[in-house]
Amino acid sequence: MIFFFLLLFLVLAAQIAELFIPALPWLYNAHVYIVPVIVFYGAMALPFPFMLALALYAGVLLDALTVQVIGGKVEISAGSSILMYGVLAGIMHGLRPLFARGHWEVHCILSGIFTSLIVLAQYLMITFRRGSVVFTREIWWQIGGPGIVAMLVAPIVFWSLQWIGRMTAYQYGPERGRFE
Amino acid sequence: MGMSRTNIIVLLIFGAILGYFLSFGPNTTQKFKAGVYQLLAPFLTSGSGLKKQITSVRTGLKSLDQLEHENAALQVENRELRATNQSLRDVEHEVNRLRHALNYRERSVFKLIAAEIVARDSSTWWRTVTINRGRRDGIETDMPVVTDEGLIGKTTSVSDVISVVLLVSDENCRVAASVEGSREQGIVSGQRVTTGLTPLMDLNFLSKQADLKPGQKVYTSGVGGVFPSGLLIGVVKSYRVRELDGQAQLTPAVDLSHLEDVFVVTGRR
């Protein structure tokens, strides 16, 4: 239980930290996103109900920070991030046995792909609202860049969270499917 | 293997909460956003202070690195002098910045509320900054935000103590504009994607005969009600004729990547 609350705290801290991390000019101004990596680790380490709670919490935070109401119109509906985190964390949750057998690389790669999927989904939603479909090389890099960064930081984040889990005596047991 | 009853119940609760959020209209969304920002305000303000301290330490470390290569006998004294010099330079920079801001406020024809940038946008598709002034200071939504160099943007979400400012370089921030030395009028909006370090803006709906020249200044025209007339938006970089109209590319008047102090325009004097 301590581990779950620690993850909630880390998601909040990472979400705030992201506001102070500048975009990477050498990667077409791609942004650095750490929160998805923490959520996806939580999706693997936590049982189903707690995984959904974490996805809900992270989604609410992301919605609050990204949803823009301009001229009485909402570009991305509140709740869209909750839905995205719920679905993607659910997929990650289904791959828990693989993670338990030590295949971290699959989840690191998936963390990157899923992070890019979140950015892509946001882009598709604003494109739909603004009414012009534009896909330039810069846009692809701004979608793919955060995924690449997430993929690179995922092993460090996963290792750190695994270590925190051990320190808090959290027992990772995907086969048993229960929270200890 | 099916789902356990607990999991199904949790999934239903998740779905219900999701449905609740998805049903939010613009007003509820605005309140929800302002509420979360209100809760995060202490973290954002302290995070901003921490960032400044880290930058200051990093600058100090650079000087120490340079000192290693200097004469060993003068190293200690040199280090002290450099440290003193650095801190004086910081103070001088701060004094100049504040003096500059104060001068602008005193000579401005607008009623201004001074604010400091506490956080930048973390999202890829919107260009916003967060300022340390809110409803308590008299800020409302859709108020223009400026510096002494020109227009920055307008407030969107306002909580009690902090507000979100949509930058003029965002595609959604549309400003009615007029061009210096001509009768041309158009709408300035940001570009969806920034390719270089400096974001550019488009001035659309110009006449095909506009033939704007690089360096011409573009000001707010006052049409639309949000932005008062006479605020410098940017400078023409290039002009091209399209099928139906003319379009100019503008460089923002203000360096939007290095904002520190801004002013919210609350009215005219």
Contact indicator for A177, A9 with CB cutoff of 8 Å: no
Of B33, B193, B195, the CB nearest to A67: B33
- Quote the pLDDT of residue A179: 42
Tell me the per-residue pLDDT of A37-54, one tens digit each, with 9 for 90 and over. Answer: 999 999 988 999 999 999
pLDDT at residue A172, rounded to an integer: 66
Q: Chain-wide mean pLDDT for chain A?
A: 87
Q: How confident is the model at residue A177 (pLDDT cuts 50, 70, 90)?
A: very low
The answer for B 3-42 residues in CB contact with A (under 8 A) is 3, 6-7, 10-11, 14, 17-22, 24-26, 28-30, 32-33, 35-37, 40
**Mean pLDDT for chain B?**
83
Tokens of B175: 């400003």
Provide the greatest CA pair distance for chain B: 77
What is the Rg, in whole angstroms, of the alpha carbon atoms belonging to chain B? Answer: 24
Chain A positions in Cβ-Cβ contact with residue B172 (cut-off 8 Å): 68, 70-71, 75, 130
Structure confidence at residue B180 (pLDDT): 87
ipTM computed for the complex? 0.85
- pLDDT of B213 above 80: yes
Report all structural domains of chain B as residue ranges with CATH numbers, in order of start.
175-253 (2.40.10.350)
Is the pLDDT at A28 greater than 90, yes or no?
Answer: no
According to the model, what pLDDT value does residue B56 have?
60
Residue whose tokens read 């809760």: B39
Interface test with A, best of B23, B55, B122 (most A CBs within 10 A): B122
Show residues of chain A in contact with B157, CB under 8 Å.
Answer: 68-69
Angle of the A35-45 helix axis to the A137-167 helix axis, nearest 10: 50
B202: helix, strand or coil: strand
Six-digit token string for B78: 């040199």
Whether residue B246 has pLDDT greater than 70: yes
B77-128, pLDDT tens digit by residue? 776 677 667 666 666 667 777 777 777 766 677 888 999 998 887 778 888 8
- Chains A and B form CB pairs within 8 A to the count of 132
Candidates A27, A69, A133, A141: best to mutate against B (most CBs of B within 10 A) is: A69
Sign of CA dihedral A102, A108, A113, A114: positive
Cβ separation of B32 and A78 shorter than 8 Å? yes
- pLDDT tens figures, B171-200: 888 999 999 888 889 999 998 877 666 788
Across the interface, whether the CB atoms of B33 and A69 are under 8 A apart is answered yes
Q: What is the pLDDT of residues A136-154, one digit of tens each?
A: 888 899 999 999 999 999 9
Three-state SS at A166: helix
Residue B227 CB neighbour total at 10 angstroms? 29
Q: For residue B256, give the DSSP letter.
A: G
Q: Residues B126, A69: contact at Cβ < 8 Å? A: no
φ, ψ for residue B160, nearest 5 deg: -60, -40
Residue A98: its pLDDT value, please? 83
- What pTM was computed for the model? 0.80
What pLDDT sits at residue A173? 58
* Helix axes of A35-45 and A104-130: crossing angle, nearest 10 degrees: 130
Nearest to B22 among A18, A72, A79 (CB): A79
